[in-house]
Amino acid sequence: MPHVVILYTANLEPQTDMGQLCRGLADTMLALHAEDGARVFPQGGTRVYAYPAPHSAVSDGGAAGRAAGGDGDYGFIYINLRMGAGRSPAVHKAAGDALLGCAKAHLAPLFADARKHLGLTVQIDEAPGQVYDAKHSTLHPLFPPR
């Protein structure tokens, strides 16, 4: 059920390995355990999709960045996790903080570059407005409950 969708400006494509970030975020999700010791996210349903935007516009288009000595080629990465409803606020915070920490670590070289101006946002939604949910899978059975 849980998935992460990453939307980002395509100028970042050559600057960082987004496939590696996907793998890191998936591993982060799979390592999370709730108060009762159970995995927060089922192994067979955890996935991350990342989409560079062929067209985008960010903030003022670069003027303030160039004025501050940057290259004016702003980047933005938006990470959204959709998960089923019913988890505790503590689990939401642990999941969000873990995803944010993973992404910050992966993007650290870009954040440390004084010529780059980059935004990262992480948000979690609990299946908003959901009125139907079904699945069919030959992947889930690989991970039987123990």
58-97 binders of a copy of itself (CB under 8 A): 58-61, 64-65, 68, 74, 76, 78, 81, 85, 89, 92-93, 95-97
What is the Cα–Cα distance from 91 to 2, expressed in whole angstroms? 14
31 binds a copy of itself (CB under 8 A): no
Residue 125 C-beta: closest distance to a copy of itself, Å: 4
Here's the x/- map for a copy of itself, 94-113, by CB under 8 A: it reads as -xxx--x--xx------x--
44 binds a copy of itself (CB under 8 A): yes
36 binds a copy of itself (CB under 8 A): no
What is the Cα–Cα distance from 10 to 14, expressed in whole angstroms? 8
Q: What are phi and psi of 93, to 5 degrees?
A: -65, -40
Q: Please provide the distance, in angstroms rounded to a whole number, between the alpha carbons at the two ends of the chain.
A: 19
Residue 36 C-beta: closest distance to a copy of itself, Å: 19
Quote the DSSP letter at residue 127: -
Q: Which value, to the nearest 10 degrees, does the dihedral of the CA atoms of residues 87, 89, 95, 100 take?
A: 150
- Which residue in the set 31, 33, 35, 51 belongs to the binding site for a copy of itself (CB under 8 A)? 51
